[in-house]
Amino acid sequence: MVLYVAVLARRASPRLLAYAVPVLMLFPLAWELVVDFRFATACWEGYHFWLPVVQYIWYIQYAIFPL
């Protein structure tokens, strides 16, 4: 919001806003993916099609970032 106001006040370049918006949009997407993987591997009902894929990615995460 601050960057948008700065562009309107001509204190920042519109190109900076164009680069910042997609990056800011990735944060909710990353949150959604983390929640989806945790939910799909914890539940026994539903999401049966995605369970093998999600579990594979979950194991890769454990291999890269062991707890």
pLDDT at 49: 65
The rounded percent of the chain whose pLDDT value lies above 70 is 82
Q: What is the pLDDT of residues 53-65, one digit of tens each?
A: 778 888 888 888 7
pTM over 0.85: no
Better pLDDT: 44 or 15: 15
Please tell me the predicted confidence (pLDDT) of residue 44.
65
Residue 43 clears pLDDT 80, i.e. is over it: no
- Whether 8 shows a pLDDT value over 80: the answer reads yes
| SS3 state at 54 | helix
